[in-house]
């Protein structure tokens, strides 16, 4: 049977977003296992993954080693291009201002993220900046809440583990006195 032309297929962009976010969640899981704040990101061009990243600032002694930056670097090196027009970046957690800035420099077309980050997440801040400054030469469309549940559960798991490690250390210190 002949395949239907792409245009006639029903819109499955939601399914696609969840599939790519699933890959980003696997990378976040790897961060968690390394003792880093669990965030994963993939960069997609023409429905193909061209960049992968996971949060690694501790392992690399690099404050800029956020998952999104890692995915942008991976994709740019692979495609030999510092600009990634038409790219979609999937991140398990709402990106910070640094990562959003890098996405603008790279001309990323769309950002899809999972859970919001009330502390450093800057999507709303970017919108305010864009609305107040007409000189913004590039715009990145944003969509949050895609597979937010597993992303936020992983963050909770990380911070609970870290809290209990701190209290175990404190108990240990008390016993040594």
- Give the interface with Zn ion as residue ranges (CB under 5 A): 66, 96, 98-99
For residue 122, what are the contacts with CB-CB under 8 A and spacing of at least 6?
A: 94, 95, 96, 97, 100
Which C-beta is closer to Zn ion: that of 42 or that of 96? 96
Three-state DSSP class for residue 7: helix
Token pair listed for 22: 């699933």
**Distance of closest approach, residue 127 Cβ to Zn ion, in angstroms:** 17
Which C-beta is closer to Zn ion: that of 24 or that of 99? 99
**Distance of closest approach, residue 100 Cβ to Zn ion, in angstroms:** 8
CA 105, 109, 92, 152 dihedral sign is positive
State how far the Cα of 41 lies from the Cα of 55, in Å rounded to an integer: 9
Which C-beta is closer to Zn ion: that of 56 or that of 66? 66
Kindly list the catalytic residues: 68
Q: Are 103 and 84 a contacting pair, CB within 8 Å? A: no
Q: Could you tell me which of 55, 62, 63 has the C-alpha nearest to residue 30?
A: 55
State how far the Cα of 87 lies from the Cα of 89, in Å rounded to an integer: 6
Which C-beta is closer to Zn ion: that of 92 or that of 146? 92
**Distance of closest approach, residue 91 Cβ to Zn ion, in angstroms:** 8
Three-state DSSP class for residue 53: strand
**Distance of closest approach, residue 99 Cβ to Zn ion, in angstroms:** 3
């Amino acid at each position: 049977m002949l395949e239907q032309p792409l245009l006639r297929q029903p819109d499955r962009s939601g399914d696609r977003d969840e599939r790519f976010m699933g890959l980003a969640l696997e990378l976040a899981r790897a961060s968690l296992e390394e003792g880093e704040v669990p965030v994963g990101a993939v960069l997609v061009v023409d429905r193909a993954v061209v960049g992968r990243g996971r949060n690694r600032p501790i392992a690399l002694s690099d404050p800029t080693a956020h998952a999104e930056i890692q995915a942008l670097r991976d994709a740019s090196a692979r495609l030999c291009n510092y600009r990634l027009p038409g790219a979609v970046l999937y991140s398990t957690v709402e990106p910070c201002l640094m990562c959003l800035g890098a996405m603008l420099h790279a001309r990323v077309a769309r950002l899809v993220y999972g859970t919001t980050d009330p502390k450093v997440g800057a999507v709303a801040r970017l919108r305010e900046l864009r609305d107040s400054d007409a000189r913004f030469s590039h715009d990145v469309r944003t969509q949050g809440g895609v597979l937010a549940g597993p992303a936020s559960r992983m963050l909770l798991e990380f911070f609970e583990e870290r809290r209990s490690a701190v209290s175990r250390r404190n108990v240990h210190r008390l016993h040594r006195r």
